[in-house]
Structure 1
Amino acid sequence: MFLKFTSTLSQATPHSLLDDAVAGLVVTIMLVPQSIAYAFLAGLPPEAGLFASLLPLLVYAMLGSSPTLAVGPVAIISLMTLSVLQGVVSPDNEDYTQYAVLLAGMTGIWLLLFFLIGLGSWTSFISHSVVSGFTSAAAIVIILSQLKYFTGLDIPRGGPGWSPIGYIAEHWRSIAYWPLTVACVGSALLIFWQRCAPVFSTRLPVPTVVTVLINRAGPLILIVSGALLIVLFDPPLATVGAVPSGLPILALPDIANLDWRSLLLPSAILALIIFLESLSIANSMARNQDVRIKPNQELLALGTANIVASISQAMPVAGGFGRSMVMKSAGARSQWAAIFTFGFMSLVCIAAGSWFEHLPHAALGAMIVVATWPLFNWRDGWNAWRFQPSDGLVWVITFIGVLLIDAETGIMAGVLLSLIFYLRRTSQPHIAEIGRIHNTELYRNKRRHEVETIPSISLIRVDENLYFANSDFLINYVLKRVAKRPDIKHVVLVGTAINHVDFCGLEALELIHQRLAERGVTLHLAEFKGTVIDKLKTTHIKEKLAPGRIFFTVADAVRFLTQEPDDNPQSISATQNS
């Protein structure tokens, strides 16, 4: 593990730099309102979102392995930031922003620790059902959290994700019509623009870059229209207020005066979600690019980006799907587009802070709702259920846990349930008695194929690793089979699918041998993989199995045990190279 800079910046040409500059401008137009909206979603001032769109972009551009992943504030991470911090400090507390900054730094440290232990190679330890269930529930919670801006009600923060519904049901007579009108009209405008702008823009005789700008201009039109509404008519609408102009002041979080211990576990979970979400987005875009995403390099890039976000007084950051797709479709060739975005965002922070003073909260709420709704994907859960009910149940439990309790509980419940199902499945592995297909040396499950068997030999194939959770199951299976067939003289365990044997598995083999020997039956092994045999050779299993043998193939075992005179089978102990 060592510091390594990305190669996506090294092959730039004047033409590609021009494309990246245009893409950077397009992303900036989208990023400015998004940054402010996601900061409010996390309960933070707008500058926390704007600052998160500065130095973290620059850091990822230098360290990341994806040429078009756009890093910054994203909806799900903003929601998790709010959820984590509400359990530690009130959003009205003056230290709330400092806790968010500290959370970004601790998340970055966790990501760097994951990098140091090589966690990038363990990318499948959280199932897709858990991630999908969390994402779908988080989308609903985000949408419900924006109802306060739709209704103008002062809905209390905290509590489960569905709590805004109960509050609105009790206070529906106090709903303000101006926020409701602006939010609904704004949502309709964004949906209309998303669906209709691409249809009309493709008919215009303009360059592709202009087409992309037109297609993505909906949020910009919404915030400009909302600001003009406030300036011209001064309706009773809550606005963003003054946004400080200038670049962030670099400083470490005030750890001494903050309860950092309460953020240890939540920041670790947040780090995992940032990594998994960013990696999945990068991989989905890499399918159409001549590039290979390096998971461990992503951990380094995302960890450093979050530490820099903390030092620059910003909120936690991750790769954003919508922003990344905009950057890619706008013609970005490399992370130079992110560097140009950093430049444009710096100009916005220096000179344009006052432009957002009159931006209505209702417009930001509409933008968050429309951007978040596509994340709700119930079909993932349904398809998982249809294919394998246990995966569908993991999706449902994760979804309900996030929606009814909080994000951390939902994720932990989903991961725990996945582990339970895995242990249950592997503790009762598929075991098949096999026989020879006529006129071949292929051995298959006798329940599925017409095969030839030998009464005195039982060929038992184990389709799972042999370890502590299933060793008793295998012992019981073999002994029951032998008890039902007193004519059996030899049992051959076929280890084609066994990649690992732990100490309990070794003891199980020895116990099976001992119990079979008491019945006058000999145990043999066949087709165990080379790595497993290498581990078994460090023990005395070969001597303990005697007179049983370890065979290279099942066919060798059958020929030897039936004592066919024309063959000279070799045991695996002499010729094991697999």
Structure 2
Amino acid sequence: MRTTLNDNQRRLAGDWLPFLRWLPHYRRADLPGDLLAGLTIALLLIPQSMAYALLAGLPPVVGLYASILPVIVYGLLTSGRVLTVGPTAITSVMVLDSLQHLAATQTPTYITLALTLALLLGLVYLIMGILRLGFIVNLLSQPVLSAYINAAAIIIILSQVQSLLGISVERTPYPYELFLRVAAGIPELNPAALLIGGGSMALLIVYRRWLGDLLARLGFGPTLRFTLTRSGPLTVVILSTIIVYAGQLHETAGVQVIGAIPAGLPALQVGPFDFSHLDSLLFGAVAIAFVGFMEGISTAKSLASRTRDRIQANQELIAMGAANVASAVSGGFPVTTSISRSAVNHAAGARTGLSSVIAASMLGVTVLFFTPLLYYLPQTALAAIIITSVVNLIDFKAFRQLWRFSHAETLPFIVTFGSVFIFSIEGGIIAGVLIAALLHLYRTTRPHITTLGRIPNTEYYRERRRHEVEPHPHMLIIRVDESLYFANVQYLENYLRAAIADNPEITALIIVGSAVNSIDASALQILTSLIHEFHEYGVEIYLTEMKVGVLRKLERVQFLAQIGPERVFTSTHEAVQHVERQTFVNNSSRLS
């Protein structure tokens, strides 16, 4: 008994603290893969974290801080062995959208608001995870998410063009205004900044597309080849910094650099936080939570199919919540699961969450010893890193597929995409969710109803408009392909009334309920009144193929007793045979 109890306790502890499953039994054979993956992730995370912090309107060091403790915490708590968090482009632009109307970017007030937003985001995730509310993300449909990611990627690129060109543009929460301001500032571009930024982009493209093949021809092994091809962003950081320092281009050519970055690990402290704009911050936290978790869980499931991990959605919420709380108390800003870095982590051979711990440790070493070397890092190089990272997020194949599949499905995509540009990122999400919800309600209020007929010489019943079926002049057989509740039963009632009015010869109505999973009180009341009303017209209603759970509910409320158990059948063919026999008996009685 005690052994069973201890096993249950260990299993429960492993569910809440997944690292207890692998850390005590860590295998030496897993270490090379975790080391290589950790190194590779660090090579990506060092430049990306600084770039995404600037994108969010924060100093670059905040991005570095957000890539240390949060990455460790998530690596220990995630249910997916190769998943990793940190600053991401989409989250960063959402942070900017949430905060830029509350304070000026790069200011102490703005940084405090970013800490507060990270704390609120962490609490939202934790509450959702503890209450097992992972299913709530289903409210954000795939067309809405796809449209949002496409629009956000375009906005991110647009926001970085100014740094790439070396021009100064006043920030605005409205994307269309940003486009106009960037276009107006093009005549004032800085040639040196453009050359460095353009060269950085070209180098990143070479690393991504051609370096792997070149290294293979030169005889490099797959492991070294993989690591080198992922070091493009770090190479850009090193080379662009050397170029600016050597030519003192920040003084002679006006190239903007990130400047001094404080050395040392972030202090762990609770606060300072600013809750004076709690409503705006909480709204932003919920929006980031929805988008971040939906992106993260889709990535987790995709990678889990390769690693054979069992992804627990609610545990992922807890892990992301803990990571954001850790970010809030260590000087960071909101973090979410990174699609690209998680994929790289898996491809690099990560076996456990130790790869995240190793990557974060390397970030810690960078913050301790190497931040003075980043003084001359040009902002145009970071803009190039961001642009080349997010350009792959632009994918309109999803829209074309939606259009081919269903024109109605494209409506949430179009509304979300347009609203993001016209209003704001958060406004686009709200508009998309609302239009998707309205579309869903419209569909559920108009349940699919099909008229059936028997295929000759069989006991099978199919749609009359698609198959050659036998005529049943005195009988109407319909199948309702939806659960019945207060919002859609009126549609069914109108359909039945119209069918009976248009076909006065009908004496039997057979309702096939194979797709009806539930019936609420409103639907039950209307069905009861229809049975009595149609009986007065000489039309009898029969039920067939109803689910067991639905029949039990109907039995509890005496519905079956009212219509008579002889009017309920397990198969449509039995109901048809019964009606045919009853019709024959009635006709014989009239003839006699």
TM-score band, normalised by shorter chain: over 0.9
1:295 aligns with 2:294: no
Describe how 1:190-229 pairs up with structure 2 within 5 A.
190-229=204-243
Distance 1:434 1:10 in 2: 62
Q: Per residue, is there more helix in 1 or in 2?
A: 2
Describe how 1:74-223 pairs up with structure 2 within 5 A.
74-91=88-105, 93-223=107-237
Secondary structure, in 3 states, of the residue corresponding to 2:581?
Answer: coil
* AA in 2 matched with 1:192: V
8 Å CA contact retained: 1:140, 1:403: no
* Equivalent position of 1:557 in the other structure: 575
Distance 2:332 2:268 in 1: 10
* Equivalent position of 1:252 in the other structure: 270
* Equivalent position of 1:532 in the other structure: 550
Distance 2:117 2:436 in 1: 28
Distance 1:92 1:48 in 2: 10
Secondary structure, in 3 states, of the residue corresponding to 2:307?
Answer: coil
8 Å CA contact retained: 2:137, 2:293: no
Distance 1:396 1:538 in 2: 47
The offset of 1:239, in angstroms, is: 0.6
The offset of 1:199, in angstroms, is: 1.1
* Equivalent position of 1:434 in the other structure: 452
1:61 aligns with 2:67: no
Structure 1 residues 146-197: Cα deviation after superposition (integer angstroms, max 9, x where no partner): 1221222221112312323211333333222111221111111111221111
Structure 1 residues 287-341: Cα deviation after superposition (integer angstroms, max 9, x where no partner): 2221222111111111111111111111111111221122112111121111111
Secondary structure, in 3 states, of the residue corresponding to 2:451?
Answer: strand
TM-score (norm 2): 0.92
For structure 1, the residue ranges without an aligned partner over 5 or more in a row are: 566-578
8 Å CA contact retained: 1:201, 1:215: no
* AA in 2 matched with 1:375: L
Distance 2:520 2:77 in 1: 39
- Name which of 339, 360, 363 aligns with 2:378: 360
* Equivalent position of 1:379 in the other structure: 397
- Which stretch has the larger CA shift, 195-204 or 63-72? 195-204
8 Å CA contact retained: 1:479, 1:516: no
8 Å CA contact retained: 2:208, 2:229: yes
The offset of 1:534, in angstroms, is: 2.5
* Equivalent position of 1:573 in the other structure: none
8 Å CA contact retained: 1:246, 1:351: yes
* AA in 2 matched with 1:521: V
* AA in 1 matched with 2:300: A
- Name which of 210, 227, 237 aligns with 2:255: 237
Structure 1 residues 21-65: Cα deviation after superposition (integer angstroms, max 9, x where no partner): 121011111110011000000001112111111111111112111
* AA in 2 matched with 1:77: T
* AA in 2 matched with 1:114: M
* Equivalent position of 2:355 in the other structure: 337
- Name which of 489, 493, 496 aligns with 1:471: 489
Distance 1:409 1:263 in 2: 14
8 Å CA contact retained: 2:140, 2:290: no
Distance 1:516 1:13 in 2: 73
Describe how 1:24-43 pairs up with structure 2 within 5 A.
24-43=38-57
The offset of 1:426, in angstroms, is: 2.1
The offset of 1:400, in angstroms, is: 1.3
Secondary structure, in 3 states, of the residue corresponding to 2:266?
Answer: coil
Distance 2:130 2:555 in 1: 33
The offset of 1:395, in angstroms, is: 1.1
> Structure 1's 92 and 319: CA in aligned 2 closer, same or farther, altered over 3 A?
closer
The offset of 1:373, in angstroms, is: 0.4
Distance 2:555 2:49 in 1: 60
Distance 1:553 1:378 in 2: 46
8 Å CA contact retained: 1:209, 1:331: no
* Equivalent position of 2:473 in the other structure: 455
Runs of 4+ in 1 over 6 A off after TM superposition: none
8 Å CA contact retained: 2:47, 2:237: yes
Distance 2:131 2:573 in 1: 43
Structure 1 residues 86-119: Cα deviation after superposition (integer angstroms, max 9, x where no partner): 1322225421001001101101111112113322
8 Å CA contact retained: 2:95, 2:284: no
* Equivalent position of 2:16 in the other structure: 4
The offset of 1:454, in angstroms, is: 2.9
The offset of 1:439, in angstroms, is: 2.5
The offset of 1:408, in angstroms, is: 1.0
Aligned length: 565
For structure 2, the residue ranges without an aligned partner over 5 or more in a row are: 1-11, 584-592
Describe how 1:506-517 pairs up with structure 2 within 5 A.
506-517=524-535
8 Å CA contact retained: 1:147, 1:164: no
Structure 1 residues 470-518: Cα deviation after superposition (integer angstroms, max 9, x where no partner): 2111001111111122222221111111112222221221232132122
* AA in 2 matched with 1:94: P
- Which stretch has the larger CA shift, 271-280 or 552-561? 552-561
* AA in 2 matched with 1:527: E
> Structure 1's 353 and 398: CA in aligned 2 closer, same or farther, altered over 3 A?
same
How much identity, in percent, do the aligned residues show?
34
